[in-house]
Amino acid sequence: MEKCLGILERKEIKMITFKGSYFEIGKQQGQIYRENGLNIDWVKINKKLLDGQLKAYQEHYPQLLEEIKGIAQGGGYDEEKMLQVYLANEILYYTNRFNIPVNCTIFGVKNKNGVFVGRNLDWTPIAEKIMQVYKREGSECLNFLAVTDMHIGSPDDVKNKFMFYNTIDVINENGLFIGITFAYGDSWQFGLSWRDMSKLISEACTTVNDAIKLFEKIPLAVPKNFFIADRKGNMAVVEHAVKRFKILPPIDNVLIQTNHYVDPELAKIDKVFKEIPHHNTFIRYYEALQKINWIKDKFKHSDVIKVLGNPQSYLLQNHESRTIWTLALDMQRSKYWLYTDVIGQKNKKTLEI
């Protein structure tokens, strides 16, 4: 098993594979965390949050608890502190988050050429140095491939080596894709974190409808938008505000999600401009819509990077947040391309995944 690539020294993207049961995969990850120098001795237990989250996971995703046991054992970590990190810290982050704009864009187009999904992951620039691509070959669930920013919430997380394999963008062996964009809500409840919801859907679902059924049964801890597409050509966005969520279907075979709630009911509780007054979520949404509408009937796989990779566009970020990677997915043909160094253009790296 390959060790996680060195921080700030990335020359190329390499694939890492985890294999086995939840516990075994957790143990493999824990070993990497220890090798990378992760220390969680400073983590404080919030008993109220952790107890509530434990109850939610025991009911809805007990497999993840087995994985955390493996992480703790593999890396020699205190299990309760690792549970706090995985289950409860996401809620703490949402109640104390800092105002870095999160500017991700995802879209889908369906026409006679197929079904195509494009995504720009925009985050703190340091993420470009530590992003990873990995596979999970689980003995108890569907296999999947994921792209991760290593769960960093700020540059200090990289400095302190506080990094974990998460599921920003995921494609499973049945051709189901799920990716996330940030949602500016202020509610929370006991439930799965967004990364574990994405992970569970990837492990259990084949179609968009399968995924929606899980959202109907399982509570989510914090707000998030989920873009889902499958090999059969189905697409949907789940705009999740914790206490309620809305399903957005494509309109005229086009579906776009940025960082505001599109559903009229959820738009009334959207906090995006309260938190980030200069946010460009609406500009990106309508820029993507206009560009796609010009070519949607002839849209093909290579058009994804043409829409998302223009350095003169609002869709490509290079300011407080930076476009870390771009995905171009041909869902029906199972052809998936990852673009990195997108800002550099001349030095752009691609990986067929």
pLDDT at site 49: 97
Domains and CATH numbers, the chain: 15-95 (no CATH), 105-352 (3.60.60.10)
pLDDT at site 97: 62
Q: What is the pLDDT of residues 270-284, one digit of tens each?
A: 999 988 888 999 999
Concatenated DSSP letters for 104-148? -EEEEEEETTEEEEEEEEEE-TTHHHH-EEEEEEESSS--EEEEE
Tokens of 294: 């010009």
Nearest to 327 by CA among 133, 144, 196: 133
Nearest to 230 by CA among 211, 246, 204: 211
Number of H helices and E strands in the chain, helices first, is 13, 14
pLDDT at site 14: 72
pLDDT at site 6: 32
Residue 319 has pLDDT above 50, yes or no: yes
Q: How many Cα atoms sit within 13 Å of 63 on the Cβ side?
A: 16
Residue 8 has pLDDT above 50, yes or no: no
Query: What is the percent of the chain with per-residue pLDDT over 90, rounded to a whole number?
Result: 83
pLDDT at site 95: 76
Q: Which amino acid is at 324?
A: I
Q: For the chain, how many residues are written? A: 353
> Using CA atoms in the order 120, 338, 321, 161, what is the torsion angle rounded to 10 degrees?
140
For 335: left if phi > 0, alpha if psi spans -120 to 50, otherwise beta; the answer is beta
Q: What is the pLDDT of residues 59-96, one digit of tens each?
A: 999 999 999 999 999 999 999 999 999 999 999 888 77
pLDDT at site 10: 40
**C-alpha torsion sign, points 215, 187, 118, 321:** negative
Tokens of 21: 């049961």
Residue 2 has pLDDT above 60, yes or no: no
Distance of CA 207 to the CA centre of its chain: 18
Q: What is the pLDDT of residues 189-228, one digit of tens each?
A: 999 999 999 999 999 999 999 999 999 999 999 999 999 9
pLDDT at site 353: 66
d(CA 209, CA 198): 14
What 3-state DSSP class applies to 251? Answer: strand
